[in-house]
Amino acid sequence: MQIRLAKASDADGIWALLQPVFRAGDTYAIDPTISREDALTYWLDLPAATYVLEQAGAIVSTYYIKTNQQGGGSHVCNCGYIVGEAARGQGLAAQMCRASQVQARALGYRAMQFNFVLASNAGAVKLWHRLGYKTVGTIPKAFDHPKRGFVDAYVMYLWLDAVAD
């Protein structure tokens, strides 16, 4: 398994991961009808860095790191992670999160904040807690889930100085 910076030539492989997740509309607060171009701009062009995980030469997962707020809040980053369906259950989300913490520190960030973790995404909530993130806020009924109706969203936070390289 190799984690590396994404490049423009990875766009098709990244879109193959983004499309089903965004279309499902049940984990990301992204318009499920987002175009390929807009999705790739969101994932590849706007972040400070985007990474892919390759397995046997195929992109199986991806994540980005971006500045969460400008000015006095620019030391806090935000990340988004997607594991392809065929690669789920292999611990890749944890691997990506740990790698992103190290990479975020190398980029000069001091903290990582997840702005909108859906309470209905129990696996992610459990994983982020296991990796040291604290739930610092709850936004009641913040997301209109396509199957569950309105669900809460959590703000989760980790000060990166406590993370070992």
Which helix (H) or strand (E) covers residue 63, if one does? strand 58-67
Q: Around 5, how many Cα atoms within 13 Å sit in the side-chain half-sphere?
A: 8
Which helix (H) or strand (E) covers residue 80, if one does? strand 76-83
CA distance 134 to 41: 30
With cut-offs at 50, 70 and 90, classify the pLDDT of residue 66.
very high
pTM: 0.93
Superfamily of domain covering 2-162: Gcn5-related N-acetyltransferase (GNAT) (3.40.630.30)
Average pLDDT over residues 7-31: 96
Average pLDDT over residues 20-32: 95
Report whether 105 contacts 77 (CB < 8 A).
Answer: no
Query: Does the pLDDT of residue 128 top 90, yes or no?
Result: yes
CA distance 92 to 25: 21
The encoded tokens of residue 133 equal 């993130």
Domain assignments of the chain as residue spans, ordered by start: 2-162
> What contacts 115, CB < 8 A, 6 or more positions away?
68, 78, 155
Classify burial at 156, counting beta carbons within 10 Å of its beta carbon; exposed 0-12, middle 13-18, buried 19 or more.
buried
CA distance 78 to 67: 6
| pLDDT in the model for residue 164 | 61
